[in-house]
Amino acid sequence: MTRRVVITGIGVRAPGGSGTKEFWSLLSEGRTATREISFFDASPFRSRVAGEVDFDPAAEGLTPQQIRRMDRATQFAVACTREALADSGLERDRLDPYRTAVTLGSAVASATSLENEYLVMSDSGKDWLVDPSHLSPYMFDYLSPGVMPAEVAWEAGAEGPVSMVSDGCTSGLDAVGHAVSLIREGSADVVLAGATDTPVTPIVVACFDAIKATTPRNDDAAHASRPFDSSRNGFVLAEGSAMFVLEEYEAAKARGARIYAEVGGYATRCNAYHMTGLKKDGREMAEAIRAALNEARLDPTAVDYVNAHGSGTKQNDRHETAAFKRSLGSHAYDVPVSSIKSMVGHSLGAIGSVEIAASLLAIEHGVVPPTANLHNPDPECDLDYVPLTAREQRVDTVLTVGSGFGGFQSAMVLHRPEVAA
Amino acid sequence: MTSSSTPRVVVTGIGVAAPNGLGREEYWKALLAGENGIAELTRFDASRYASKLAGQIQDFEAKDHLPSRLLPQTDVSTRYALAAADWALADAGLGPDSPLTDYDLGVATSTAQGGFDFTHREFHKLWSQGPEFVSVYESFAWFYAVNTGQISIRNGMRGPSAAIVTEQAGGLDAVGHARRTVRAGTRAVLTGGVDSALDPWGYASQLAGGLVSTATDPEAAYLPFDTRAGGHVPGEGGAILITEDADSARERGAAHVYGEITGYAATFDPAPGSGRPPGLRRAIELALDDARLAPDGIDVVFADGAGRPDADRAEAEALAAVFGERGVPVTVPKSLTGRLAAGGGAADLASALLALRDQVVPHTAHTTSVPEAYGLDLVVDRPREAALRSALVVARGRHGFNSAVVVTAPTTA
């Protein structure tokens, strides 16, 4: 008998508000939270808009020592972990440490701290040999980010398997998929799973400038992320985090937990094509979707809502649209598809988890979040992308997908437990 | 929770890039001969540093191993990973003509440090010249998924793939994940770990951990379990392994089956100051349970061997608790390479499989005097011939990662 896995707690830190409640208000009202970069002087850069999070670590209850040692991305993850645990009603002292695991996704890990320390050690970039007399004791942890899942484990009291899953922009889906495996195979009963990334820092902005992956729409920052719109011209870099409490279904039921959804299926494939490029046919993403539906034992027509990757690059939007048609058949034209990146931007490795949070809340509230800023769809993107306004409808089953550098294509099926019963 | 229907997962290919040997047999010969890969760091002028040694890979000319178009887009660690992957795939007979293609093949690798040398150069360009000088390859040459992605692309591997980061335990955790993926139906998964961070900033950052030896003698700087242990030496490289469904390997007539991955487990230490016991013993016991072996079923342990008295004592205690005092031969051949971050566990697993093949335990070079209180049967001075059927490989990552893998010699049919 396969162990079933459900999600019973959510914590979110995303642009436009802190906490799950504010996150959902933003999405369900179709508001956008992208803005001109305020964290540093972005004037030398091509893309100067971002989804920044107004995050105050002291107000989050982190101690001065935690604030000193943790990278910003780690602070986000710990704050989300606390929210998710509280939301689940699982007290830390009721968890069996040996049966509690952590899987944390992140694409660029401690990028913010790396850059801060680099500027000190290199004297603002002058010294290739860097000055060891200005070496922070935390620099090892910024180089080698095992400390990030470690901090989450310490927060939750987890002593089972702990790891970071770093698959670029699918990390947030893959970390939760990994957590599902741990529970199903019996390595853990509870997993704190999710992802975090805080890449709004000069080196990362420069990375994406160099390949023109991010938007140069600097004159209209609030409407710069335009997935599926014919005027879209790149994604909006963002920060964010979401963490979840995953539990074995029977145990969650037995303690009377509120169950957001069951993770019915998850799959990932690689395109083996190009580190940043996508083929137009969507073949490997379609295969991941088919495999995830197959694992969930659901027909494509069971999908009530597709939470798209929808990054707002031309190649992604077309690749993904092709993948939906290939995997869902005619149902691709009937099911609502939307991209919350239109509102909160693209937080790289974190976004897959942020999008899982959106998917769970869509089921919870019976509302499909819209694709903001979508006025004139690309003629090659001819599905129902839920433009501008959220839609009230019953949602039992959600398909959420991700696509990332390295060729990773991932898909997850979330549904009310009754759907599979 | 294995059942009798759980597919068995075997290793059919090995590729090693280590400071004391490039290639499986070169590395293995170097271990048995006690050839040291630790030397004075030559990548840059390290005179300002308290430590000056490293396990550096010598004589690796990237252009001899990789097409020229890959050179501008890859960090040194990715070049090692791609080369080791080529060797492992060739060893396994999984070339372009193999019956396994496309979704039959996955990739699960670990790196603890990403493409750090590469990214240091790009940070330097950004801050000394400006954003327009940053490489078009920086967005992916740096991140931790780079080796998995590049190996997948180079070899047309489209099955389930991942990158795992658990510091020095990552090489073993990647193998554990590969086994999980094969069990779930992917016929073969390329796995292992490779790392390198020996540029000035990367080396400095490794020193920031406070665990690196300041000794200047390459023969006496990294002495696992020795009374003189005073830290480790950072190294670069690692190993790539091909894990494969045993039936698949048999059906296609794989040239080698080095061994079966019979056990795997990972645990995490409690938060500092909690007073709870550390997790290493539990990881070992869970891996043995997973392999359905009693402690006396393990014939050799490839230990983590941190090379610091506190960590060495803790590991010795865990081993003695499971196996009894001097209950099993223990070795740390990485005293010849330095600690390779995510590469270390993977290289140790390669060594363990070759030990099963040749029925010989490589020794812990340089270590001479082991405290009696450790209760260890540490293999020192020279390799030890022994009847070996199953080996345990242990790796620990900073902040509390513990991983253990059991490999068992193939049954002669």
Q: Is the pLDDT of residue B168 over 70?
A: yes
User: Max alpha carbon distance in chain B (Å)?
Assistant: 64
How far apart are alpha carbons A272 and A278 in whole angstroms? 10
Per-residue pLDDT band for B2 (boundaries 50, 70, 90) equals very low
Of A309, A319, A381, A415, the catalytic one is A309
The residue-averaged pLDDT of B88-99 equals 93
C-alpha closest to that of B237 among B158, B336, B165, B375? B336
Test the A interface: residue of B52, B137, B158 with most A CBs within 10 Å: B158
How far apart are alpha carbons B263 and B290 in whole angstroms? 5
pLDDT score recorded for residue B294: 98
- Residue A178 a catalytic site member: no
Nearest by CB to A108, from B143, B152, B206: name it. Answer: B143
Nearest by CB to A140, from B140, B156, B209: name it. Answer: B209
Give per-residue pLDDT as tens, B23-42.
Answer: 999 999 999 999 999 999 99
Q: Does the beta-carbon distance from B173 to A163 stay under 8 Å?
A: yes
How far apart are alpha carbons B401 and A101 in whole angstroms? 12
Per-residue pLDDT band for B412 (boundaries 50, 70, 90) equals low
pLDDT score recorded for residue B245: 98
Q: Is the pLDDT of residue A1 over 80?
A: no
Q: What is the 3-state secondary structure (H, E, C) of chain A?
A: CCCCEEEEEEEEEECCEECHHHHHHHHHHCCCCCEECCCCCCCCCCCCEEECCCCCCCCCCCCHHHHHHCCHHHHHHHHHHHHHHHHHCCCHHHCCHHHEEEEEECCCCCHHHHHHHHHHHCCCCCCCCCCHHHCCCCHHHHHCCCHHHHHHHHHHCCCCCEEEECCHHHHHHHHHHHHHHHHHHCCCCEEEEEEEECCCCHHHHHHHHHCCCECCCCCCHHHCCCCCECCCCCECEECEEEEEEEEEHHHHHHCCCCCCEEEEEEEEEECCCCCCCCCCCCHHHHHHHHHHHHHHCCCHHHCCEEECCCCCCHHHHHHHHHHHHHHHCCHHHHCCEECCHHHHCECHHHHHHHHHHHHHHHHHHCEECCECCCCCECCCCCCCCCECCCEECCCCEEEEEEECCCCEEEEEEEECHHHHC
Q: Is the pLDDT of residue A354 over 70?
A: yes
**Residues of chain A with C-beta less than 8 angstroms from the C-beta of B400:** 150, 153, 162
A390: CB partners within 8 A, 6+ apart: A27, A28, A29, A30, A367, A368, A369, A370
How far apart are alpha carbons B54 and B206 in whole angstroms? 11
How far apart are alpha carbons B236 and B78 in whole angstroms? 11
Test the A interface: residue of B74, B161, B212 with most A CBs within 10 Å: B161
How far apart are alpha carbons A222 and B191 in whole angstroms? 43
How far apart are alpha carbons B209 and B191 in whole angstroms? 27
**Residues of chain A with C-beta less than 8 angstroms from the C-beta of B132:** 209
Q: Does the beta-carbon distance from A270 to B122 stay under 8 Å?
A: no
Test the A interface: residue of B44, B127, B232, B401 with most A CBs within 10 Å: B127
Q: What is the CATH number of domain B9-251?
A: 3.40.47.10
Of A223, A346, A381, A415, the catalytic one is A346
C-alpha closest to that of A216 among A76, A50, A346? A50
Q: Is the pLDDT of residue B228 over 80?
A: yes
Nearest by CB to A154, from B45, B200, B271: name it. Answer: B271
Q: CB neighbours (10 Å) of residue A277? A: 11
The residue-averaged pLDDT of B342-363 equals 98
| Dihedrals phi, psi of A384, to nearest 5 degrees | -90, 95
Q: Does the beta-carbon distance from B167 to A144 stay under 8 Å?
A: yes
The residue-averaged pLDDT of B117-129 equals 98
The two beta strands, A190-197 and A100-105, are parallel
The Cβ-side half-sphere exposure at B188, using a 13 Å CA radius, reads: 32
The residue-averaged pLDDT of B286-308 equals 98
Which ranges of B93-169 would DSSP assign to H, the alpha helix? 116-128, 138-141, 146-155
Does residue A84 contact residue A45 with C-beta atoms inside 8 Å? Answer: no
C-alpha closest to that of A225 among A84, A415, A30? A30
How far apart are alpha carbons A299 and B158 in whole angstroms? 24
How far apart are alpha carbons B68 and B61 in whole angstroms? 12
pTM greater than the 0.80 cutoff? yes
**Residues of chain A with C-beta less than 8 angstroms from the C-beta of B41:** none
| Per-residue tokens: A134 | 């200005």
Residue whose token pair is 């050690």: A121
Nearest by CB to A143, from B116, B153, B173: name it. Answer: B116
pLDDT score recorded for residue B392: 99
Residue whose token pair is 């987890």: A158
Give per-residue pLDDT as tens, A222-250.
Answer: 999 999 999 999 999 999 999 999 999 99
Nearest by CB to A162, from B140, B202, B268: name it. Answer: B268
Indicate the SS3 state at residue B271. Answer: coil
- Percent of the residues in chain A that have a pLDDT greater than 90, as a whole number: 98
Q: Does the beta-carbon distance from A206 to B152 stay under 8 Å?
A: no
| Dihedrals phi, psi of A282, to nearest 5 degrees | 65, 20
C-alpha closest to that of B168 among B112, B251, B108, B233? B112
- Residue A309 a catalytic site member: yes
**Residues of chain B with C-beta less than 8 angstroms from the C-beta of A408:** 145, 149, 161
Q: What is the 3-state secondary structure (H, E, C) of B172-187?
A: HHHHHHHHHHHHCCCC
* DSSP letter assigned to residue B209: T
- Residue A207 a catalytic site member: no
Indicate the SS3 state at residue B272. Answer: coil
Q: Is A89 left (phi over 0), alpha (psi -120 to 50) or beta?
A: left
Does residue A228 contact residue A376 with C-beta atoms inside 8 Å? Answer: no
Domain ranges of chain B: 9-251, 262-408
How far apart are alpha carbons A295 and A373 in whole angstroms? 34
CA distance A161 to chain B (A): 5
| Dihedrals phi, psi of B267, to nearest 5 degrees | -135, 170
Q: Is the pLDDT of residue B132 over 50?
A: yes
How far apart are alpha carbons B239 and B22 in whole angstroms? 10
Instruction: Please provide the average confidence, as pLDDT, over all residues in chain B.
Output: 97
Give per-residue pLDDT as tens, B394-405.
Answer: 999 999 999 999
pLDDT score recorded for residue B358: 98
Q: Is the pLDDT of residue A396 over 50?
A: yes
Size of the A and B interface in Cβ pairs below 8 Å: 266
Per-residue pLDDT band for B85 (boundaries 50, 70, 90) equals very high
Q: What is the CATH number of domain B262-408?
A: 3.40.47.10
B9-251 against B262-408: fold identical: yes
Q: Does the beta-carbon distance from A276 to B207 stay under 8 Å?
A: no
How far is CA B85 from each of CA A28, A201, A208, A269, rounded to the nearest angstrom? Answer: 47, 33, 28, 19
pLDDT score recorded for residue A217: 98
Per-residue pLDDT band for B96 (boundaries 50, 70, 90) equals confident
**Residues of chain A with C-beta less than 8 angstroms from the C-beta of B263:** none
User: Is the ipTM reported for this complex over the cut 0.85?
Assistant: yes
- Percent of the residues in chain B that have a pLDDT greater than 90, as a whole number: 97
Q: Does the beta-carbon distance from A144 to B341 stay under 8 Å?
A: yes
Instruction: Please provide the average confidence, as pLDDT, over all residues in chain A.
Output: 97
Does residue B44 contact residue A129 with C-beta atoms inside 8 Å? Answer: yes
pLDDT score recorded for residue B4: 56
C-alpha closest to that of B22 among B67, B57, B74, B55? B57
